[in-house]
Structure 1
Amino acid sequence: MEKLLRRGSDLFAWVGGIALVVMMLEISADVILRTLFNKPLPLTVEIVSFYYMVAVVFMPMALVEFTGHHISVNLVTQHLNKPAKLTVQFIAMTAALIYFALMTFQTGRQALESLEMHEYLMGAFALPTWPGRFTLPLGCGAYCLVLIVRLVQICRGVDIDAEFESDANLTEGA
C-alpha cells in the first residue's frame, strides 16, 4: 500500500513540476510578446491563477511529506523523550489530517458544483475554470493518505522526525 501511495505521490509531483515548467514558458512567452510586439498572450494571468499555481502548490504536497521535506522546527521536541515526542507527532499529524480532510471535502464539493454548472471565466475568451478546481482536492486528498500512513507509523512507535534527520545528516556531509 505504501509503495502504491509513493508512486501516486511521485506522479502528482511530476504533474506539479510539469505545471511549473509550462507556467514558466507561458509567462516568458507573454512577457516577450508584450515587450517586443505589444501583443500579450490572452488569459495568461487567468490560466496561471486557475491552473498552474494550484497544481504547483498542491500536487507535490504528498511527496514532500513522504520524503520529509516539509519545513519543521524541532527546538522543543529534540529535548523530549521518545514517548513524549511520539505524542507530539501524533497530535500534530492528527491536526493536519483533520484540517486537510476538511479542506479536501470542501474543495471537492466546490469542484463538483463547478463541474455541474460548467463554470467558466469570461474574458477575451471563455475559459473553463472547473477542471482546475479538481487539482486542490486531489492534492489535499493524497496528502491526507500520506498523513494516515504517518499516523500508523507513529502508532507503531516510529519516530518520523528521526527517520528524516538521519537523511538530512547524510546530505549535509556530502
Structure 2
Amino acid sequence: MTTPSENAAAPRWFRAIEYIAGAAILVIMVHTLANVAARALFNSPLPDTNEWSAFWYLPIAALGGFILAQFAGEHIEATLIYDRLDARNRHVLDIGATLVSIAVSCAFAWFTAMEAAHATSIGLRAGVTSVVIWPIKWLVPLTFVLLVILMVAKVVSLIRNRQTLLLAAVDASPIPGA
C-alpha cells in the first residue's frame, strides 16, 4: 500500500506535518537518551525532561498523527458489521459517521480553544517547573479544526461519489423497449 507521503502528489502540508511529527519522536528519543546518560554518567538527570517530553514533544507527534491518519484514511476500523452491509448502506453509514465525527470534532475544537485561551491568559507552566506549556495548548484546537476540514472534504467526496454511482447505475440499466 502506498502512503500519501510516498505519493509524489502528496500536498506539501502533509509532508510538513509528517516531518514535524517524526522529528518530535526523534527528539523524544534523543532527549530521553541524553537524560539517561546524564543520570548514569553524572548522577544527575537533565532538568525537566519528563515535562518537555509529555507537554511538548508527545502532543506534536500524536496530534500530527491524527491529521496524517485522517488524510490517508488510515484510522482503525472495526468492520464486523460494516462488511456485511450492501454498498448503499455502507455509503450511507460512511456519510453519517463522518457527519457525527464532524460534530464531535467541532465541539472538541471549541472547548479546547477555550481551554487554550485560559492557559494563555494565566501563562500556564508544567507543574512547578519553568517549562511554559500554554503555546502547545493551541495545537489541540488547531488539530481538530484541520480534522473537521478533512472530514468535510470526505463527506463532499462521498456525496459526489454517490451521485456518480447513481448516474452509472442509470446508464447501465437496460432501456425497456429498446
TM band (smaller chain): 0.7 to 0.9
Give runs of aligned pairs for residues 37-76 of structure 1, distance below 5 A.
37-76=42-81
Alpha-carbon contact 1:12-1:139 (below 8 Å) kept: no
State how far apart, in whole Å, the 2-side matches of 1:43 and 1:9 are.
Answer: 31
State how far apart, in whole Å, the 2-side matches of 1:91 and 1:115 are.
Answer: 36
Identity of aligned residues (%): 22
Q: 1:144: which partner in 2? A: 148
Alpha-carbon deviations, 1:23-49, whole Å to 9, x = none? Answer: 111011111111222110111111111
TM-score normalised to structure 2 length? 0.78
**Displacement over 3 Å in runs of 4+:** none
Q: Which amino acid aligns with 2:37?
A: I
Q: Which amino acid aligns with 1:156?
A: R
Alpha-carbon deviations, 1:2-31, whole Å to 9, x = none? Answer: xxx943333223221111111111011111
Tell me which structure has the larger Cα radius of gyration: 2
Alpha-carbon contact 2:55-2:126 (below 8 Å) kept: no
Q: 1:19: which partner in 2? A: 24
State how far apart, in whole Å, the 2-side matches of 1:51 and 1:60 are.
Answer: 14
Q: Which amino acid aligns with 1:148?
A: V
Aligned residues: 153
Deviation of the 1:122 alpha carbon: 5.1
Unaligned runs of 5+ in 1: 159-174
Does structure 1 residue 88 correspond to structure 2 residue 93?
Answer: yes
Q: 1:28: which partner in 2? A: 33
Alpha-carbon contact 1:101-1:140 (below 8 Å) kept: yes
TM-score normalised to structure 1 length? 0.79
Q: 2:6: which partner in 1? A: none
Q: 1:163: which partner in 2? A: none
Unaligned runs of 5+ in 2: 1-9, 163-178
Alpha-carbon deviations, 1:78-136, whole Å to 9, x = none? Answer: 2222221111111211121111111111111211221222222354x511111111121
- Larger relative contact order (Cα-Cα within 8 Å, sequence gap ≥ 6): 1
